[in-house]
Structures are given as structure tokens and as C-alpha cells.
A and B are shown apart, each in its own frame.
Chain A
Amino acid sequence: MNTVVCIKQVPDTETLIKVQGAGIVTEGIKWVMNPYDEFAVEEALRQKEKMKAGNVTIVSLGPDRAIEAVRTGLAMGADTAVHINDAAYYDKADPYATAAALAAAIKGMQYDAIFVGKQAIDDDAAQVPAMLAEMLGIPVVTMVIKFEVAADKSKATVTREIEGGQAVVEVPLPAVFSAQKGLNEPRYASLPGIMKAKKKPVDVKKAADLGVSEGPKTAIKEMSLPPARQAGKVITGDDAAAKAKELARILHEEVKIV
């Protein structure tokens, strides 16, 4: 089974984010592969291992630094990669422009499935999966937590997470699948994997090389951080009963919620 995995490089969840106008200060940030994309890579690798055939291709849009995330995917076991290394395009790209670039890169490829993360944890738009599928003219199933493919690769049976439960969906291939936590446990790249990844082929392209003409449909005007958290309050008291009483008093009198 041939698969394509779209990965985005995002700031590590623990890293310090400083806002600057409509963007963030990128210096000093630790960049990682979007965590949901790790599930996507893992699933593609598992399908390949199960079928004992096929190729896994990584596609990523991002500046120079994004190659690290691409190499992470290759280290996990992906075979080849396309890096749309175009800082100018990337800086202005909204989900629409991103999907357009990815679709242009994927269009000529042979694939049975495209795995993507359910959302990128930096801008949280969660739009790329659906737009990408639309642009490629294939179905999309989002929030996938279980993936099974028919032996003839004609269709997949997938389980998706829905509010308060699960739904099982059948879909003809090829299709786009967005990965939710729970789909699998992403592997830790082995050392030989890391070393081999350095030598695997990465096709570097500009957006123009792919013939993408359409620009973004939206633009970020401003960004701000959430207000700093207020200091917590430690409730003291002689014993649990006294503390509970004091808590009840605060909730009732000061916070006025009970």
C-alpha cells in the first residue's frame, strides 16, 4: 500500500511563545513534528508493514527548519519525502493555501491513502484535511482512531471518534484520513533509522515549481496570548473538615458559584 503523510513542523508544546504583531518570535523555539502527525506517520508505517509492500512518502510545507521534522518522519521509517521549502509562501499560507500546495505536490503521486493529523497544534484550524481531500477530489474521514484496509485495497473500514462515542465508517480508497490520539502509539525512531534518514531522498520544491497559483483566502491580523493565570489560593485549616468548610465558604461567598 502506498501512502502519503502530510506533516507540519510546529513549536514544541512546552516552548516559550512570544507574540510579535501578527506572528510569533521564532528565535529560540524548539520545533517538533506536530504530535497528531506522528500518529499519521505511524499508521502509514504500520499499514506498509502489515501489507509488506508499498512506499510511505512524507510531504511537508515549511521553511528550511522544517527539514528536521521531515527527517524525523524518515527516521521513523518513511521512504521518501517532498519538502515544499518556500518561506515566502509558507509565511502567508492559511489552511487553504497550505492545502493547495500539498494537493499540488501529491497530485501526480500513486497512493492508496493520505494520512494527516487531525489538526496542527499551533494554529488549531483543523481545516487542511478536508480541503486537501476536496482539492484532490477524494473522500475524507476525520478523527480516525482505528484503521483497517481491505485486502484488495479498494476500501477502508475506519473508526472515528465522535462526541461521547465512536462511529465505524466505510470509505473507498484513495481517501484522506486525519489521525486522532488513540489511533496508535507512535514509535521512537531507532538509531539506525535516524542515521539512514540522513541519506534518504528528499525532493525540495518551491510552490511555483508545483504550479500553485492561488494565494491565501485569509490573513492573520493580530495575535495575543491568554491572560496570565492568577495565583492559586491555598486553603488552610486544622483538618479536612475545616478545609472543606472553608472551601465551601469561598465558593459560596467569594466566587459566588454555589
Chain B
Amino acid sequence: MHGSGAEISREVFWNILGPGFPTEQVLLYVLVVIAFLLFFHGLARSGFFTRMKAVTSAQGPDVERVNNAWDRFMYMVVDVFGHRKILREPYQGVFHFFIFWGFIALAITTAIVFLQADVIWPIWHVWFMQGGFYLGLSLFADVFGLVAIVGILMAMARRYFMKPKWLDEKGEDKVILWFILAILVTGFVVEALRIQATETDPASPMNPYIWFSPVGRTVAFLFSGMSMDALRDTHVVLWWTHVLGALGFIVFIAYSKLLHIVMTPVNIFLRPDTPQPPIKAMPPEMFENAETFGIHKLEEYSWKDLFDSEACMRCGRCVEVCPAFNTDKPLLPRDVIQNIRTYMEKKAKFALDADGNYHILPDEEYTGPALIGDTIEKDTIWACTTCMACVEACPAYILQFPKLIDLRRYLVMMESDFPAEVLDVFKGMENNSNPWSIGAHVRADWAKGLDVPLLSEKGEAEYLFYVGCAGAFDDLNKKVAVALVKIFKAAGLDFAILGTEEGCCGDSAKKIGNEYVYQALAMANIETFKAYNVSKIITMCPHGYTVLKNDYKELGGNFQVFHYTEILDKLIKQGKITLKQPIENLGVITYHDSCYLGRYNKIYDQPRDILKALNSGSLVEMKSHHAKSFCCGAGGGRMWMEEDLGTRINQKRTKEVEASGAKTVCTACPFCYTMLSDGIKELELSEKLQAIDIAQLVAKAAGLDQKTDKAGNENDQEAAN
């Protein structure tokens, strides 16, 4: 059958083809065609096309996900083949990498064999699969096949021995690994049987090169005692088993999470191209015109929101990192996505007409399960801290928590249905422009006696110091605001504050789902900023930072916004502040990454550089840090809600501080500062641990605070009041 001159090669279809007409070869290709037909049939049976109808009927705002197609494509290629996100988790990253590349290599090998045996040889009678190329290919396939087996075994070890609690366990999960292992093992056994039959004889021209199939050769030792007939008979049976297994795998993809092989790359192509997960502002004119706000029906999502769930392979990485899940709250981001997927099919049953077309039923006609309540529970919706850990972790670039914000918007703006504690927060923001509900007229009282320049008096300044509600109203965080103005003044920074003209940034309102109040607050600030021709803004709070910098743009506010850590880092590096005094009693220090500074805005280094510049204690990292940092529990408006489900997030983080061996945990966010200070008190760890904001440490090291108590807290006039 194959090139007669090719001695260093092998016969494709050895022992399979009978004499004469290549019946078996034809049968094989008929089977391949059947497998692909069954694959598409499987897609239909597993509800894929039904779900796609729901996706294409989505009425939510269209989202741009195919612009810069070439860049998107290249990003996808690098991500898929390089495992950029997958490898962030070393263990599961590596085993997926092994399985992936094992399969790619075997697919390449199969394609080469196909080209040789079924295209090139029949048409041109050229046999290129010989000599060094053949040996290389042989070695390549063997090594990568083994790599794939190692990957599968590692995955099995995780599933059966390590059993992380966030790992999903469905019927298919029990089968898939064994299925793949069986295909790989039968592949090697078939190879070994062929080697035993055709290459172990020293007279065989292939014999000197037998170890170019190291795995096959090794396995062949098992069959050394078998007769040629037995070898051939076993080989035929196992060859067909292997082939049927591989074809069955193709069909199985359609029915199982293995569909991610196709859908995840598509979703990577369609990924959002903003650094922050988009939580789009509702167009202001909508408030006047729309009948309904937020989302309570499936089809109100955008097509991309619905499509996301196709790409989810239930890997559980989002669950692993979710602070709500990790403190026993009923929120698993994976399940939010999976429930939307199941719901698409359920809802389609009610919405498919006689022609099989999906049409949207009016509320009165729809009798199926509801999106809010039946599909995603209210407790789930409110448990999210918007920490972004899920989005950051997801290898399929799925936006999990933004889908919850849409549901919050419906609950808040349509139903006035939110945790009771939040009512006062909304009223505080509406009436006094701060969530603490403290009189707006005392917003600048923290600055009394400090001679802080007011923009209304100064007229203009290079920087507006936007203090934010925490710095203005919360006793603990007023100390941070005080420290900052002392530093700015000492460094000769040209800055001013707005005083009582400042308003709440609106982040909590936005993330709780009150887009109406958020936009009112944001617009008021934008107008004030514009009235003073403000161009550069320093914020104390990462939440204000992210909305002023990123979200105000949607409402026409374009400002250059800096977090104070960016400014302090620069001032220190420029020598404008000298950190001359070592700070006593700091002990080992650790830095707690604020979600809104780190994951949202990629500010990881500046706070750490500042801490290193203090020269006052070694810096250690906690178990989770940088992009994987664990939330303090206050984001997403959770700061204002009771935490009565599960355990407390701030305490879990405080325990991580303790476990790091640090004595001082440094924060750069007022919410984190509050939550960790509370965590230390709640766990009665005040003897061992202390929380302090970076700004206070810098002020102290620069000799700018008046008195210092033993905990290293500022204890000057303003702080004591």
C-alpha cells in the first residue's frame, strides 16, 4: 500500500486493510462523516440551537464585541495556545496545558498521517512519511501522548483525591477523564502491538529505530510472548475500539462541557476590551422614557450576556476565589452562569412557537419559572461584593457579577426590594450626598484648623483632592484625609479641596443597582468639576477613583484621576517627601490589595513601593495577593448591608493577615481599612495585629504627625475629635 522504498517508516492501516478494495478505509471515513453528523445532531439534542435562538432574540443593549477583529483573533490565539489565563492556577493550569498540547500534537500527527495516506499517496504517489521525518513524528506523537496521559492523571488526582470543595460534580464529570484516558491508552496499546509484530524482529529495517516510539516500545514488552496471530487479532479489535472511541469523543463534545473546546475560544474572541468589567451606565434619557429598568427577564440581557454561558465549562475557578462562596453564602458565580444556561432552555419551551422560532412572550402569557427568585435567588444577588475576582479568574472571559448588578437594578429601581439597611443609605445619598446620612454641611469639618485650601477660595489648583465620603465623614478615615493633606502640603503640591461642594461619588449606589441615584450624584460632581475647570484629581478612596476615572466618562466627565498611592509613590521617588523617621512597632508588614485598586485598576506596585520606601519593617505577602487578593467584604454596597449569611468576609481576610505572620496590615482604601480594623477587633486580635492606612504611615515617617501612640496610630488633635 505505501511507498515501497520507504524502509524507515510504517504502513498506515497495517493489519487493518484487507487485500483488494480498501473496504476498511472507506468504512473509517464513513464513520468519520457519521461522527460529525452525530455531533451536530447532538448539538440540537443538547439544546444548543434552542439556546442560540434565545441568544439571538436578546433585546438588551447591543454590545460591540467584534471590533478590531484581527487583534481579537491574535489575542485569542495567544490565549488558547499559550494558556495565558489558565496557567494562573499552577496545578490545574499545568494539567490542562498537558492535555491540551497532547491533543494538539496527536491531532497534528493524525492530520499528517491522513494527508500522507489519503491525499498525497493516492494522488501523487509520494511517500514523505519516512526517514528522519518519520522518526521525529513518531517520537513527537509518543511524547505528547504521554504528556496528555500525565495531564489526565493529574486531573484525576485532583478530582478523586484532592477534591476541592468548589469543584463541580456532575455525571459527565465522572466519565470524561476515564473516556479520554481510555482513548489515549488504547492508542498506545495499538501502537505497541504493531511494534511488537513488525519492529522487534532484528531483521526489520525499523528495528534499530524502535526506541523512537519510546512509550509504544516500552508497552510492547508486555506483548513479547504473544504469537503473531494473537498480536494481529488483538490489534484489529483494539484499533477499531480506539477509532470508535476517538469518534465517540467528537460526538460527546456536543453533549457535554467538552463543548468548551469550541465555545471558549469564541468567547475569548468576543471578550470585553475594557480593563474593568463593563457595568454600562443606563442612557440618561432612558429614565424618562423606559417602562422598565434593570433586568428581570432573560431576553432583557444582551446577546453577549446570554452567550457567555455557552463558554462556561464549569471549571469552578470563579467559585474558588469568590469571597461570598468562601464564607458560606449562597453565591457561586459559576452557578449563576450555569443557571442562566439551563433557564434559556426552560424558557425556550414556553417561547418556541410552532415553527420552532423563539419569540418573546408577554409577562401575562409566560407561566414558567422566573429569572429572579426561581433561577437566581435574591440572597445570591445581594451576596456579591463586586470584588471582580470571578471575572479575573475566568479563563473563558465570562462576566459573572455584572449580570447580578443588572438584577439588582431591577429589584432596586422597579420593586424597591433591597436589604432594609440600604434605605437609609439611599436617603443619605439623596439628601446629604453621603451614605452615612450625616449632614452635608459638615463634609469639610475634618479639615478644620488644618488650613486646607478650598477651590472656591483659591480659584484653581493643579490637583483637586477629592476626599470622598469616608475621608469626610468616617472618624477612622478622617485620619487618612488629614495625613494626606499634611503630606501634600509638605511636598509643596498645588492642590485644593471642594469642601462642602464635594458630593458622594456614587459607587455604592451604582453597585447596589440604583443607577438613577448614581447618575444624579455623578452629574452633580461632574458639573462642579467642570465649573472649576478641574483636570487632575487625586482620590483617597479606590471606589471614587474607579468611578471618577472610568465611569464618569460615560456621563461626559473626562478627568485625569490618580489614586493617592500613585501620587505618594511619585513624590517619594522624586524626593519631594523624605521618609526620615523609622516607624516603631510596625513589625512585619503586609499589604492588603483593595479590589478596586488592584483588579479594577491594576495598581499593585505603587502601594508596595511606598511601603518598601518606609524602611520600617519587612514586607510579606498574604496567601492571596495582587490579582488574587481576597476581598475585605465591603464592595458592591456590602459595606452598608448586614452580613447575616455564612461567616464574615472581613474576619476571613483578617485571619489571612494573621497567618501571614505580619503584625501590621496596610490598606489604601477606607472600606478595607474599616473592615480589617473591625475584623481585628471582632477576632480579639488587637494585641497581635493592627491595621493602618499607608497615608498615615507616610505622614508618620515624614515626621508630619504630632503625637504617636504605641499602636502607631495618629493621635493628634483632629484624630482625637
B413 at the interface (CB under 8 A from A): yes
Query: Chain A contacts of B413 at CB under 8 A?
Result: 190-192
Asked whether, in the complex, the Cβ of A16 is within 8 Å of the Cβ of B441, the reply is yes
Asked whether, in the complex, the Cβ of B415 is within 8 Å of the Cβ of A14, the reply is no
Asked whether, in the complex, the Cβ of B423 is within 8 Å of the Cβ of A188, the reply is yes
Asked whether, in the complex, the Cβ of A188 is within 8 Å of the Cβ of B441, the reply is no
Asked whether, in the complex, the Cβ of B441 is within 8 Å of the Cβ of A190, the reply is no
Query: Chain B contacts of A194 at CB under 8 A?
Result: 516
**Bound-state Cα–Cα, A246 to B720, Å:** 20
Asked whether, in the complex, the Cβ of B416 is within 8 Å of the Cβ of A187, the reply is yes
Query: Chain A contacts of B438 at CB under 8 A?
Result: 14
Asked whether, in the complex, the Cβ of A188 is within 8 Å of the Cβ of B414, the reply is no
Asked whether, in the complex, the Cβ of A191 is within 8 Å of the Cβ of B431, the reply is no
Query: Chain A contacts of B256 at CB under 8 A?
Result: none
Asked whether, in the complex, the Cβ of B416 is within 8 Å of the Cβ of A190, the reply is yes
Evaluate whether A15 and B420 lie within 8 angstroms (CB atoms) in the complex, with A191-B287, A191-B293 already known: no
B644 at the interface (CB under 8 A from A): no
Q: Of B414, B432, B437, which one neighbours A190 at CB under 8 angstroms?
A: B414
Q: Of A16, A187, A234, which one neighbours B439 at CB under 8 angstroms?
A: A16
B288 at the interface (CB under 8 A from A): yes
A189 at the interface (CB under 8 A from B): yes
Smallest beta-carbon distance A184→chain B, Å:
12
Asked whether, in the complex, the Cβ of A12 is within 8 Å of the Cβ of B431, the reply is yes
B426 at the interface (CB under 8 A from A): yes
- Counting contact residues on chain A (CB < 8 A from B), the size range is 10 to 19
Query: Chain A contacts of B292 at CB under 8 A?
Result: 192
Evaluate whether A192 and B440 lie within 8 angstroms (CB atoms) in the complex, with A30-B431, A32-B431 already known: no
Chain A contact residues, majority secondary structure = loop
B291 at the interface (CB under 8 A from A): yes
Evaluate whether A191 and B288 lie within 8 angstroms (CB atoms) in the complex, with A15-B441, A16-B441 already known: no
Evaluate whether A14 and B293 lie within 8 angstroms (CB atoms) in the complex, with A30-B432, A32-B431 already known: no
- Interface code B419-439, partner A: CB below 8 Å = 1, 0 otherwise? 010010010000110000111
**Bound-state Cα–Cα, A72 to B622, Å:** 49
Chain B 259-296 residues near chain A, CB threshold 8 A:
287-288, 291-293
Smallest beta-carbon distance B66→chain A, Å:
33
Q: Which residue of A lies closest to B434 (CB)?
A: A14
- Among A12, A15, A32, max chain B CB count under 10 A is at A12
Query: Chain B contacts of A234 at CB under 8 A?
Result: 720
**Bound-state Cα–Cα, A191 to B442, Å:** 29
**Bound-state Cα–Cα, A178 to B414, Å:** 29
Smallest beta-carbon distance B501→chain A, Å:
12
Query: Chain B contacts of A226 at CB under 8 A?
Result: none
Asked whether, in the complex, the Cβ of A188 is within 8 Å of the Cβ of B416, the reply is yes
Q: Which residue of A lies closest to B436 (CB)?
A: A14
Q: Which residue of A lies closest to B409 (CB)?
A: A191
Evaluate whether A14 and B431 lie within 8 angstroms (CB atoms) in the complex, with A30-B440, A188-B423, A191-B287 already known: yes
A28 at the interface (CB under 8 A from B): yes
Asked whether, in the complex, the Cβ of A14 is within 8 Å of the Cβ of B416, the reply is no
Chain B 438-487 residues near chain A, CB threshold 8 A:
438-442
Q: Of A12, A14, A187, A191, which one neighbours B516 at CB under 8 angstroms?
A: A191
- Interface code A134-150, partner B: CB below 8 Å = 1, 0 otherwise? 00000000000000000
Query: Chain A contacts of B437 at CB under 8 A?
Result: 14
A163 at the interface (CB under 8 A from B): no
Asked whether, in the complex, the Cβ of A185 is within 8 Å of the Cβ of B420, the reply is yes
Asked whether, in the complex, the Cβ of A188 is within 8 Å of the Cβ of B439, the reply is no
Chain B 374-420 residues near chain A, CB threshold 8 A:
413-416, 418, 420
**Bound-state Cα–Cα, A189 to B423, Å:** 11
Query: Chain B contacts of A187 at CB under 8 A?
Result: 416
Evaluate whether A14 and B439 lie within 8 angstroms (CB atoms) in the complex, with A32-B431, A191-B287 already known: yes
A109 at the interface (CB under 8 A from B): no
Query: Chain A contacts of B441 at CB under 8 A?
Result: 15-16, 28
**Bound-state Cα–Cα, A78 to B287, Å:** 20
- Interface code A1-24, partner B: CB below 8 Å = 1, 0 otherwise? 000000000001011100000000
Chain B 284-313 residues near chain A, CB threshold 8 A:
287-288, 291-293
- Interface code A150-188, partner B: CB below 8 Å = 1, 0 otherwise? 000000000000000000000000000000000001011
Asked whether, in the complex, the Cβ of B287 is within 8 Å of the Cβ of A190, the reply is no
A195 at the interface (CB under 8 A from B): yes
Q: Of A14, A188, A189, A195, which one neighbours B432 at CB under 8 angstroms?
A: A14
Q: Which residue of A lies closest to B721 (CB)?
A: A231
**Bound-state Cα–Cα, A45 to B438, Å:** 29
Evaluate whether A12 and B432 lie within 8 angstroms (CB atoms) in the complex, with A191-B293, A195-B287 already known: yes
Chain A 182-208 residues near chain B, CB threshold 8 A:
185, 187-192, 194-195
Q: Which residue of B lies closest to A76 (CB)?
A: B416
Asked whether, in the complex, the Cβ of B420 is within 8 Å of the Cβ of A195, the reply is no
Asked whether, in the complex, the Cβ of B414 is within 8 Å of the Cβ of A191, the reply is yes
**Bound-state Cα–Cα, A240 to B516, Å:** 49
Smallest beta-carbon distance B500→chain A, Å:
9
- Among B415, B418, B437, B439, max chain A CB count under 10 A is at B439
Smallest beta-carbon distance B343→chain A, Å:
25
Asked whether, in the complex, the Cβ of B416 is within 8 Å of the Cβ of A195, the reply is no
Chain A 93-117 residues near chain B, CB threshold 8 A:
none
Query: Chain A contacts of B416 at CB under 8 A?
Result: 187-190
**Bound-state Cα–Cα, A16 to B442, Å:** 8
Query: Chain B contacts of A28 at CB under 8 A?
Result: 441
Given A28-B441, A192-B413, A192-B414, 20 more pairs with CB closer than 8 A:
A14-B431, A14-B437, A14-B439, A14-B440, A15-B432, A15-B441, A16-B439, A16-B442, A30-B431, A30-B440, A32-B431, A188-B416, A188-B426, A190-B416, A191-B413, A191-B414, A191-B516, A192-B292, A192-B293, A234-B720
What are 26 A-B interface contacts by the 8 Å CB criterion? A12-B432, A12-B439, A14-B431, A14-B438, A14-B439, A15-B439, A15-B440, A15-B441, A16-B439, A28-B441, A30-B432, A30-B440, A32-B431, A185-B420, A187-B416, A188-B418, A188-B423, A188-B426, A190-B413, A190-B415, A191-B287, A191-B414, A191-B516, A192-B413, A192-B414, A194-B516
The 10 closest A-B pairs by CB, nearest first: A14-B439, A16-B441, A191-B413, A188-B416, A12-B431, A30-B431, A190-B416, A187-B416, A191-B293, A191-B516
